[in-house]
């Protein structure tokens, strides 16, 4: 009976929802930092995003860091890539937001703006939803620009397909946060980007100097990713 009690306690620590407003404030601070960098050093912000994408973070972690920070409030159950997984979920999520801030500062030398008097939030579902939408408004536009630049840089061989694949995955998560992308990987045999969402899969493949959405079964070309995403943000 004692062993069962210990196991229940451990399970609760790993999946317990975030309970304080500190995480919500960290999301707001990071969004303000992104917006400040976008207004004053857009190239630096784009470089910071690429540095994060090409670092050692899993796609699931990048998704919460950049695209869907509000989803951390429900159940933080993704496999995290950091050694401090034994800490409470809130500590991990806050550390990820601060990692975004540090990446921006390292490139731009822009410090995180102080929160305003009205920017002191409770960490509930409605608050985080609003903060997530605010993040996606600015990050969706920035990520689309970074994707366009990455595609132009990759022509014609697209040796940077992994980078492009992650960017498409993040952009889809921002556009469709309720069916966000869970995994993004490049199948090296077919050289195709495979995205897995909560309700389906998407395949993107280089073809004739473009990145095209293709049918998961066969090679039917459905759309150019740039045409697909042009109206998203």
User: What does the H/E/C string look like for the chain?
Assistant: CHHHHHHHHHHHHHHCCCCCCHHHHHHHHHHHHHHHHHHHCHHHHHHHHHHHHCCCCCHHHHHHHHHCHHHHHCCCCCCCCCHHHHCCHHHHHHHHHHHHHHHHHHHHCCCCCCCCCCCCCCCCHHHHHHHHHHHHHHHHHHHHHHHHHHHHHHCCCCCCHHHHHHHHHHHHHHHCHHHCEEEEEEECCCCEEEEEECCCEEEEEEECCEEEEECCCCCCEEEEHHHHHCCCC
The pLDDT of residue 117 is 74
- Is the pLDDT assigned to residue 135 strictly greater than 60? yes
The pLDDT of residue 7 is 40
pLDDT-derived band at 23, boundaries 50, 70, 90: very high
Mean pLDDT is lowest, of 86-90, 142-146, 199-203, for 86-90
In the predicted model, what is the mean pLDDT of residues 183-201? Answer: 94
- Is the pLDDT assigned to residue 97 strictly greater than 90? yes
pLDDT-derived band at 216, boundaries 50, 70, 90: confident
- Is the pLDDT assigned to residue 82 strictly greater than 50? no
Between 40 and 12, whose confidence is greater? 40
């Amino acid at each position: 009976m004692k062993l069962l009690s210990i196991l229940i306690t451990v399970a609760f620590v790993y999946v317990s929802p975030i309970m304080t407003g500190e995480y919500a404030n960290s999301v707001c601070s990071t969004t303000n930092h992104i917006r400040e960098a976008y207004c004053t050093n857009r190239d630096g912000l784009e470089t910071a995003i690429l540095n994060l994408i090409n670092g050692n973070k899993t796609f699931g972690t990048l998704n919460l860091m950049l695209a869907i920070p509000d989803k951390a409030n429900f159940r933080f159950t993704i496999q995290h890539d950091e050694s401090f997984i034994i800490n409470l979920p809130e500590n991990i999520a806050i550390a990820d937001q601060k990692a975004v801030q540090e990446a921006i500062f390292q490139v731009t030398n822009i410090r995180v703006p102080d929160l305003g008097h009205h920017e002191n939030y409770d960490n509930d579902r409605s608050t985080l939803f609003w903060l997530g939408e605010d993040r996606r408004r600015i990050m969706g536009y920035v990520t689309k620009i970074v994707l366009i630049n990455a595609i132009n840089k990759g022509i014609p061989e697209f040796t940077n397909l992994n980078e492009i694949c992650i960017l498409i995955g993040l952009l889809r998560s921002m556009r469709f946060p309720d069916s966000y992308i869970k995994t993004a990987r490049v199948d090296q045999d077919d050289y195709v980007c495979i995205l897995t969402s909560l309700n389906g899969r998407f395949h993107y493949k280089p073809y004739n100097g473009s990145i095209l959405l293709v049918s998961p079964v066969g090679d039917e070309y459905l759309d150019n990713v740039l045409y697909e995403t042009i109206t998203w943000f």
